Every structure is written in C-alpha cells, then in structure tokens.
Amino acid sequence: MRKISFVNGEYYHVYNRGVEKIKTFHSNFDFLRFCKSMEEFNDIDPVISLYIKNRIKSVGVRPLQKKRRIVEIVSYCLIPNHFHLILKQLREGGISEFMKRLSGGYTGYFNYKNKRSGVLFQGKFKSIHIDSNDYLLYLSAYVNGNFLVHRINNRKWKYSSLNNKNEKLSNLRIFSKEFKNFKDYKKYVSLVVKGIKEKREEMKKYILE
C-alpha cells in the first residue's frame, strides 16, 4: 500500500494486526489497557508511562491543563489479533505521533507482561484516506461492526465504539444527522456487515484475519 500524507481536518482508516497473525489481546485487561492508551496518549504533551501517570493521580496531583488532543477518534474496534480505528488529524503529524505512542506503549506493556521481546504488530500501521462523507459513514459501520465481520458472536462486544459510548474514545455523534437515532445507525451497521460478508473476497485487502 502506498504511503499517504496525513492532512489536518481529514479522516483516515488506520489498522494493523499482530505479527504472524498472533493474538495481541489475550485478556479483558489487555483490551482495556489498549483503550486506556488511546485515551491517554491522545495529547499534545507526551505521556512517559501510564504507570507513572496513574501513580501521580493516586497522590492527588492534578494536571496543569486540559488535554489537547492530536487526533479525533471517530470509531474503533479491537478483536483478538488486530485493531481498526478511524481518526481525524487535529494537529500536524498527529496521526503518526499518536500511532507511534499507541503501538510502542502497548508493545512495551505486552512484552513485559508476557516475558517476550521484539515487535508485536505487523510493521508500520496501514492507512487509507477517507475522501467523502459517504465513504466515512460506510467505513465507520465496517469498523464498528468488525467483530461481527469476524464472527465474534457477541452483539454486545465491549471493545467497539458501537457498544462503548465513552466520548473520550470515540465520536459517533458526527453521524447523528444521517439517522433518526442510534438504533437506526446500528441497523445500518448490520446491513453493511451483511454486505461485506457476502463480498468477502472483494474486501480481502481491508479484512485482517
């Protein structure tokens, strides 16, 4: 896939999987750790360590200023061996910096926990520029319903912005003009997932097994 330039105000589908298709999330805590990383690393000021940050909070020290985000997370989905994100770049170099922190931080945690070394994800993250509102809406449904695409039979899968309405992690409100309510959006997601399953061969370049 050719290299693309990230532009402020534009949306991108960003994804990656475990090297040699290994599982990158083994437990509920692993999933939650990645989600926490998405929240904490999305700041113009670098975070040295989630452990250090949590220790600072535990002794009652408050941050000096509000978080200044470098990307907007529109949608996300994590499944055992890969992840999908839709990101809007807010600051110059924001997506590259965010992904470097996210991938590096989680890899460090994962390797320490599992007594391993080396890379965890399959090279540099992949990205696709989303160049229209219709494409953004479609890919949001694909990302949010990715656990269904991969036949995870849990309609309440917690590691997708479809079921986790934490506004620090995702912003599905941008689609509110397209649907009467969130229930209608979920119906749209189901239709998109159904279509993808029917055209699985055509979608292989987007589907990470």
Structural domain boundaries of the chain? Answer: 11-198
Residue of higher predicted confidence among 127 and 63: 127
Whether 56 has a pLDDT exceeding 50, the answer reads no
Cβ–Cβ under 8 Å, residues 69 and 166: no
Distance CA 74, CA 99 (A): 15
189-205 confidence digits (pLDDT tens): 999 999 988 876 665 65
| Residue 145 banded pLDDT, cuts 50, 70, 90 | very high
Share of the chain above pLDDT 90, in %: 67
Q: Which residues of 163-189 are buried (b: 16+ CB within 10 A; e: fewer)?
A: eeeeeebbebebbeeeeeeeeebbebb
Look at residue 207 in the predicted model and tell me its pLDDT: 58
Distance CA 129, CA 102 (A): 20
Q: What angle do CA 45, 49, 50 make, to 5 degrees?
A: 100
Whether 55 has a pLDDT exceeding 50, the answer reads no
Prediction pTM value:
0.86
Cβ–Cβ under 8 Å, residues 24 and 80: yes
Whether 53 has a pLDDT exceeding 70, the answer reads no
Q: What are 153's two structure tokens? A: 């039979």
Look at residue 14 in the predicted model and tell me its pLDDT: 97
Dihedral sign for Cα 193, 197, 201, 207, please: positive
Look at residue 7 in the predicted model and tell me its pLDDT: 97
Look at residue 205 in the predicted model and tell me its pLDDT: 57
User: Which single residue is written with the structure tokens 């993250």?
Assistant: 125
| Residue 209 banded pLDDT, cuts 50, 70, 90 | low
| Residue 154 banded pLDDT, cuts 50, 70, 90 | confident
**First-last CA distance in the chain:** 17
Residue of higher predicted confidence among 38 and 209: 38
Cβ–Cβ under 8 Å, residues 76 and 172: no
The phi, psi pair for 79, rounded to 5°, reads -130, 170
Look at residue 199 in the predicted model and tell me its pLDDT: 77
177-193 confidence digits (pLDDT tens): 899 899 999 999 999 99
CATH topology of domain 11-198: Alpha-Beta Plaits (3.30.70)
Q: What angle do CA 154, 124, 132 make, to 5 degrees?
A: 70
Task: Please state the rounded mean pLDDT for residues 145-150.
Answer: 92
